[in-house]
Structure 1
Amino acid sequence: MAAFPAFFGLLMAAVVTGQMVDITPREAVRRVGDELKVMCKVPYVIDSCRMTVGTTSYRLRPDITGGDVIYTGNGFKSGECGALIKNIKEEWNGNITCVLPPQAGAIELAGVMRLVVARPPREPELRTPLDPSFKEDTEFMAQCVVPDGRPAARISWFLDEEQILRGTHQPIITSEPGSDLQTISQNVSRVLSADDNGKMLICRAEHEALDSVMEARRQLIVHYPPKRLEAGTITIFGLKLGEPGRLNVTVRANPPPHAEWRVGDVTLAPMQSNEGIAALEPVHLGGGYYNISLLLSRVQKEDVERKYYLRVSNELGQQEFTVLISTMDEPAGVELDTGAIVGIVIAVLVLLIAVFLVVFAKATDRWCFAAGGRGRDHAKSSGESTPAGDVLLESGIALPSRTSDTESAVGGKERSRLAGLSARVRAVLPRAKDKVQATEAAAETEEKPLSEEKKGVVYAELQLGEQNAEKPPPPSTEYAEIVYTDQPKETKE
């Protein structure tokens, strides 16, 4: 019987050895004076709860509620060993260990988490080239260093209030041997443009131990030659004959530009005049923009017809612009909002659909084109040739009845009518075609009912031979078979 407790103890030791302590959180960053709750848990009943914070080991119990480190959790029976750490101190930076011994057995399980007591870094350093200014299209590189923070600080770059996302390099974190303080550095590269001139490059550092961000900054000075946003000839509208006129041209340059006007053979520098024409000093509008003006004491017709040339230069280059003046008002630009554009697109689609429907209806004899289609069908039934070459003619006059001696019974009047009919058939027959369609309008204004459509109809059957363009066509036979309705014989009294 003594062997059973020993076997049970070995079994419990094996089970406990295979267990892991669930500890949350596994890492935390706190400022001095903050609180932290650490929970260690195992799936068995524990005998006690010990927590090592810094260099001090605390034996925690649910009934002890005083001190900087107190127990928290649902009790030992739940396998929970939790600690509420109040008023975190600088010297507590490091690992926190919890120990959970079982009720039975000699093996204790321990869990470890990392507590980082935040320490603010020193002021950031912005390292840039020593040049006071840079030329346009130059690749500029700067480095920001934020030393001795715990943990490492976070760096972000700004150009004025616009965050720089492109051109930032991967940050590098280093620390001195034997020190837990970390230094972070990050580079940024950028191709400078005229828009960057005068803007502030800012390296901004954030840290858990700081109440506000820390910054290092430098203003960028970018030099570029004179330029205009719009290329081509400049036209100034709205001048009036007989009244003073002012020619204003806005250019962009850094350093400030030197302006020179040329009117005919006369060249005018700033603050010079000649025969009622005066050149003014360039006025800085801000952002590298300058307004260059030429005054006309009285606008005359020859002033409107001539060209004015403006040459603007600085240390990096020069530009020459052609200026024209006009007495007409400036043409209004066409501005369409989103609603107008959508309306135009819808109108075009509706127009295309309408055109398609009209073409479809006309091709298929539908809707408003149905009446025309019935008329064509009626004409086809009354006058279209058959594939064999038959011709159907419509006549409003009744023909004599057919007897056994038809040829002898037809009088002179009927023969003349037949001769005219034959001439009409030959006149409407197209050449080099096998199909013939002919119709003869009704002589009478009185319309016949559809039920009497077959009355007064003459059938003419024509047989044409095939024609060959390369050799003369063979002789062909044309014949006509006349079919007409019977007519009652006249009774002689």
Structure 2
Amino acid sequence: MGLRPSESIKPRLSLIKLLAAQVEVERKEIMVLPGENVTFMCRVGVPLQYCRIEIPGLRTYNLNKGSIDKDVSYYGEGLEAGQCGFRINQVQDKNNGNIKCSLGLFSEATESIGNMQLVVANDDLVNDNGLKMPTVIDLAKENLQSKLQNMTRTLQATDNGKYLRCVAYHPAYPRGYAETKRQLDIKFAPLPIYEPTDKFGYQIGRVGLINLTIEANPKPQIEWTVGGQKGRGKYLVNLRIAAINKHDTENDYILTAYNDLGSQDYRIKISTSPEPEGKC
């Protein structure tokens, strides 16, 4: 037996009454380093009864303008303005993940919910200097949806060993998000050294060791030239002098480092004088 028109409408009317107000989240995703502070804002267009915040690694907070806590503080113009904002004063690794704001409205029986993602970057990540805006491609086939992003960046030697990190957010993920990262392996010729390379404090008759730190990838081969005479050693960046004499302090020590991408010369002089004051 079919339902009368009045019976089919009642359940739908009840459902409409239970729908909560739409929460506007000002910053849905933020990446910060440990120790930094960060602010989020959840707001609706009507005054709030309460503002409850759930943050990974911390307790649940019921915030307002008078809230005082060493970890989290209220941020905004007040509950009467419909603003449920907050500041994490010092982000920690344990705060990484989904943050939830629950807003209580005087006119609603159910809470209004907003969700944000806080990504705490632990690894040495590639910065966004020189990074062009990503090209986003959305692919949809029946019930399968995919999103591709292509980013362009001019790589630098200082990027070697750093990480690219990709974070995807979806309600089906266990923590609301999933991530993957890849370490960069940048090939570059030996880099020049712009600071002084003179060495001080050697003693006549004592063993002397000249060493230098070189940045290159792959590892360079090393060639020392001392007073016009050459000596080669693969991957060595030091020169051992058995017994320093006055003539050694008059020589030029030239270290040549090279790999398949290029070469670099480093000129060094040694002295028996003490290191000048103020030199690090």
TM-score by length of 2: 0.53
The one of 186, 189, 207 aligned to 1:222 = 186
Evaluate the alpha carbon distance shift between residue 226 and residue 164 of structure 1 in structure 2; reply closer, same or farther with a 3 A threshold.
closer
Q: Write the distance in 1 (CA, Å) between the matches of 2:215 and 2:162.
A: 16
The one of 250, 253, 261 aligned to 2:213 = 250
**Is 2:268 aligned against 1:303?**
no
Evaluate the alpha carbon distance shift between residue 171 and residue 257 of structure 1 in structure 2; reply closer, same or farther with a 3 A threshold.
same
Deviation at 1:199, TM superposition (A): 2.5
The one of 162, 176, 182 aligned to 1:199 = 162
- Mapping 1:358-397, distance limit 5 Å: none
**Is 2:262 aligned against 1:317?**
yes
Q: Which stretch of the first structure deviates more once superposed, 165-174 or 247-256?
A: 165-174
Q: Write the distance in 2 (CA, Å) between the matches of 1:316 and 1:163.
A: 23
Deviation at 1:83, TM superposition (A): 3.6
Residues matched between the structures, number: 175
Deviation at 1:323, TM superposition (A): 1.0
**CA RMSD after TM alignment:** 3.4
**Percent of aligned pairs with the same amino acid:** 31
Q: Judge conservation of contact 2:202–2:271 (CA < 8 Å) in 1.
A: yes
Evaluate the alpha carbon distance shift between residue 162 and residue 317 of structure 1 in structure 2; reply closer, same or farther with a 3 A threshold.
closer
**Is 2:116 aligned against 1:171?**
no
Deviation at 1:203, TM superposition (A): 1.7
Deviation at 1:183, TM superposition (A): 2.2
Q: Judge conservation of contact 1:246–1:294 (CA < 8 Å) in 2.
A: yes
Secondary structure, counterpart of 2:17 in structure 1: strand
Q: Write the distance in 2 (CA, Å) between the matches of 1:159 and 1:187.
A: 24
Deviation at 1:334, TM superposition (A): 7.5
Secondary structure, counterpart of 1:173 in structure 2: strand
- Mapping 1:135-154, distance limit 5 Å: none
Evaluate the alpha carbon distance shift between residue 225 and residue 164 of structure 1 in structure 2; reply closer, same or farther with a 3 A threshold.
closer
Secondary structure, counterpart of 1:269 in structure 2: strand
> Which residue of 2 is the match for residue 404 of structure 1?
none
- Mapping 1:37-436, distance limit 5 Å: 57=8, 59-60=10-11, 71=14, 82-83=17-18, 160-162=123-125, 165=128, 166-176=131-141, 179=143, 181-212=144-175, 213-230=177-194, 234-270=197-233, 282=235, 292-333=237-278
TM-score by length of 1: 0.31
Q: Judge conservation of contact 1:71–1:83 (CA < 8 Å) in 2.
A: yes
Q: Deviations over 1:299-318 (max 9, x none)?
A: 11111122112111111111
Q: Deviations over 1:333-361 (max 9, x none)?
A: 379xxxxxxxxxxxxxxxxxxxxxxxxxx
Q: Which amino acid aligns with 1:260?
A: E
Evaluate the alpha carbon distance shift between residue 313 and residue 161 of structure 1 in structure 2; reply closer, same or farther with a 3 A threshold.
closer
Q: Judge conservation of contact 1:159–1:199 (CA < 8 Å) in 2.
A: no
* Higher strand proportion: 2
Q: Which amino acid aligns with 1:82?
A: K
Deviation at 1:220, TM superposition (A): 2.0
Q: Judge conservation of contact 1:239–1:328 (CA < 8 Å) in 2.
A: yes
* Higher helix proportion: 1
- With CA pairs under 8 Å and 6+ residues apart, which has the higher RCO, 1 or 2? 2
Q: Judge conservation of contact 1:159–1:200 (CA < 8 Å) in 2.
A: no
Deviation at 1:320, TM superposition (A): 1.6
Q: Which amino acid aligns with 1:59?
A: K
Deviation at 1:327, TM superposition (A): 1.3
Q: Write the distance in 2 (CA, Å) between the matches of 1:331 and 1:301.
A: 20
Deviation at 1:252, TM superposition (A): 0.9
Q: Deviations over 1:181-202 (max 9, x none)?
A: 5322211111111112222322
Question: Which of the two has higher C-alpha Rg?
Answer: 1
Q: Judge conservation of contact 1:261–1:311 (CA < 8 Å) in 2.
A: yes
Q: Which amino acid aligns with 2:179?
A: E
Evaluate the alpha carbon distance shift between residue 217 and residue 333 of structure 1 in structure 2; reply closer, same or farther with a 3 A threshold.
same
Deviation at 1:325, TM superposition (A): 0.3
Q: Deviations over 1:112-154 (max 9, x none)?
A: xxxxxxxxxxxxxxxxxxxxxxxxxxxxxxxxxxxxxxxxxx9
Evaluate the alpha carbon distance shift between residue 309 and residue 163 of structure 1 in structure 2; reply closer, same or farther with a 3 A threshold.
closer
Secondary structure, counterpart of 1:189 in structure 2: coil
Secondary structure, counterpart of 2:188 in structure 1: strand
- Mapping 1:430-469, distance limit 5 Å: none
Q: Write the distance in 2 (CA, Å) between the matches of 1:262 and 1:226.
A: 17
Secondary structure, counterpart of 1:204 in structure 2: strand
Q: Which amino acid aligns with 1:238?
A: G
Q: Write the distance in 2 (CA, Å) between the matches of 1:171 and 1:326.
A: 59
Where in structure 1 are there 5+ consecutive unaligned residues? 1-47, 51-56, 61-68, 73-80, 86-153, 271-280, 284-291, 336-493
Deviation at 1:170, TM superposition (A): 4.3
Q: Deviations over 1:10-54 (max 9, x none)?
A: xxxxxxxxxxxxxxxxxxxxxxxxxxxxxxxxxxxxxx987xxxx
Q: Deviations over 1:187-239 (max 9, x none)?
A: 111111111222232221112332332223333221111123326x6210111
> Which residue of 2 is the match for residue 40 of structure 1?
none
Evaluate the alpha carbon distance shift between residue 49 and residue 299 of structure 1 in structure 2; reply closer, same or farther with a 3 A threshold.
farther
Q: Write the distance in 1 (CA, Å) between the matches of 2:278 and 2:186.
A: 34
Q: Which amino acid aligns with 1:169?
A: P
Q: Which amino acid aligns with 1:183?
A: S
Deviation at 1:241, TM superposition (A): 1.6
Evaluate the alpha carbon distance shift between residue 162 and residue 256 of structure 1 in structure 2; reply closer, same or farther with a 3 A threshold.
closer
